[in-house]
Structure 1
Amino acid sequence: MTLLSPIRAFRLGMALAIVSAFLLFWLSLGVGIIGADGDPANLMYALVLSIGVAGTYIARLQADGMKRVLIAMAAAQALIAAIAVSTGMGKPWSEPLELIALNGIFIGAFLVASWLFHRAAIKT
């Protein structure tokens, strides 16, 4: 038995995805990632969360489908970061480096969760 069994990988992937989605929800709507508190630009992050909810429903919590959902969430997160940085959203409160770092944390978390679901989908 390996250290990272499919069941353990699935549980870790699910935990990381849920915690990351909750933190994204809290930061974007509560505190604000882009700009000051209450900046409407933060509503773009609802797209990432919507992809997660709809994708989870479509994937029916199957590891292979969840892997794809989390890749789509990471891609949407990256797109929002690119839009925010390239258009100068959030200035003067959110500098480009801050936006890249905060979004990068979520992109990384979603990709790690995707990798864990990939590990869970591998038949042993």
Structure 2
Amino acid sequence: MNGTGPMGGTMETEARLTRVLRRLVWGGAVFAWCVPLAARLLLPGMEWTTFDFVVWAIMLLAAAALCEIGLRLSGQLAYRAGVIVAVGTSFLITWSNLAVGIIGDEDNPLNQIFFGVIAIALVGAFLVRFRPKGMAAAMLVTALAQFGTAFVALAYEHIVFVIVGVFTLGWLLSVWLFREAARGETPRTAA
């Protein structure tokens, strides 16, 4: 018997899509961890320490685990993509901030505002209980906060509009995806 799932497709198709997405997320994390390892072996100037590899592994593990949770929260492709984009944006912010810093260098305390933006996204997600319509609103607030970081940096004579613009676009893409997921949600009936 072929049942239909929340995306309108068959349960088997959704299960297959879930397996593919999980393999992409976890396989991508393993591949990403191996890239600097290969670079270190092949490029003499690559100076990653054991600590660098451990931090990189923790970051990749955290991102993949958050994506895994997002894959379990909804069967809708738009919702899942929204989670992956939001997690990916958070990952890029964290990576660039730890590696070289976004404002000045990685030791500039002003860079902490970017971690504040990620905190806004996380707190917002919990407050709206991970529901698609609420997630869209939470990611919109996050995008506005992200955009505001450019003006904070400008007040301290740093110009970071391009990188902040890229991060803001990531948050706005997740807004759109969560809105699409909210449109595809079936209304709940009173029991």
TM-score when normalising by structure 1? 0.83
Equivalent pairs: percent with the same residue? 30
1:60 aligned onto 2:121:
no
1:17 aligned onto 2:17:
no
Larger Rg computed on CA atoms: 2
- Cα drift, residue 118 of structure 1: 0.3
SS in structure 1 at match of 2:80: helix
- State the partner residue of 1:119: 180
Match of 2:148 among 70, 74, 79: 79
**Structure 1 residues without counterparts, runs of 5 or longer:** 90-95
In the alignment, the residues of structure 1 paired with residue 83 and residue 147 of structure 2 have an alpha-carbon distance, to the nearest angstrom, of: 21
- Cα drift, residue 47 of structure 1: 1.5
One-letter amino acid of the counterpart of residue 24, structure 1:
I
In the alignment, the residues of structure 1 paired with residue 99 and residue 125 of structure 2 have an alpha-carbon distance, to the nearest angstrom, of: 24
- Cα drift, residue 37 of structure 1: 2.3
Root-mean-square deviation (CA, aligned residues, Å) is 1.6
Larger relative contact order (Cα-Cα within 8 Å, sequence gap ≥ 6)? 1
TM-score when normalising by structure 2? 0.55
- State the partner residue of 1:47: 116
Match of 2:165 among 101, 104, 112: 104
- State the partner residue of 2:106: 37
CA contact (8 A) 1:29 1:42 kept: no
